[in-house]
Structure 1
Amino acid sequence: MLSNLLDGECGAIRLSEDIESNGEAMLRHACAHGLEGMIAKNKDALYRSGRTGDWLKIRCVNSESFAVIGYEESQKVRGSLASLLLAGRRGGKLVYVGNVGTGFSAKMARDLRVQLDGMRTENPAVPIKGKNLVFAEPTLVAEVNFSTWTHDGHLRHPSFKGLRDAADNAEILDLD
């Protein structure tokens, strides 16, 4: 009924196209085109307001390895960090790609700070301005999930997944 009523309309109320396809293939296609993901609905379910589980938001998730070049001190928890400063490689040089402040527990944040304090340096691997920044030698490699890149080359919605072990030949992302 709605398709007949809204046929050709381009105002504030529009009918989204119904695409019946393999969900995994659609998600791969959406991610390949740089989209954040897709919305899927159980086609046999009636529309009901609220969180019923009939609608799903499925996000594209990228996962890459980045050099940890320091951290931002926590202003809330003494002896902890608020976020890790991250870099990738471009033209053989490290380039700041943003920071990640989620995905680690309070204990892990304290442990990471202790570890990075042992690698402190006065000369940052990448020149970054900001308050409460502590720079470290870029020897740790962090695995980070993120949705996409911002227009200025930073990570969008990053989440820390863990440190990569040097034994697994962890390579930081080459942005070239």
Structure 2
Amino acid sequence: MIYKTNYPSAVGNLLLVAEDESLVGLWIVGQKYFLGTLKEEPVENENLPVFHQTKQWLDDYFAGKRPDIAFLSLKPKGSDFRQIIWDILCQIPYGQVATYGDIAKEAAKRLNKKTMSAQAVGNAIGHNPISIIIPCHRVVGTNGSLTGYAGGIDKKIKLLELEGIDTKAYFVPKTGTAL
């Protein structure tokens, strides 16, 4: 059985989803791919320990602290390739960014390949089911564009600024499929 609860945040209402004793989803309500990895409708239950731990983590994060994701039990559902990409995202330090190209290079290294498509990486990042905690908002285009956040570019900017990143060094693209 899977369970859900809500968390009001600085970037909008968040939906937390757990299965067993692990977090399997954290979506900004209404974001692209909302509930995309779920096979059944979650049941409301805010009293799970994993939800209390996640809410404390989020309280700390939105208070400008640097909570460690190692204290949370995360089990995002996705292919082996997506799991690798999400693991790489977890290595991006608070207050820093990486490019899609950087992540593609690391993924290629882990998969013993010469190269990796930045588009494939972007697709896996876009389908990240545990937003904010698995920090896909910390990924920017090689050219400095703030593209590709399923929760919306405005929310990506807010999260980066919360972490102390000067977003004036980046730009929002005028067109593109990943806006």
TM band (smaller chain): under 0.3
Which structure features the higher share of strand residues? Answer: 1
Task: Using structure 2 for the length normalisation, give the TM-score.
Answer: 0.22
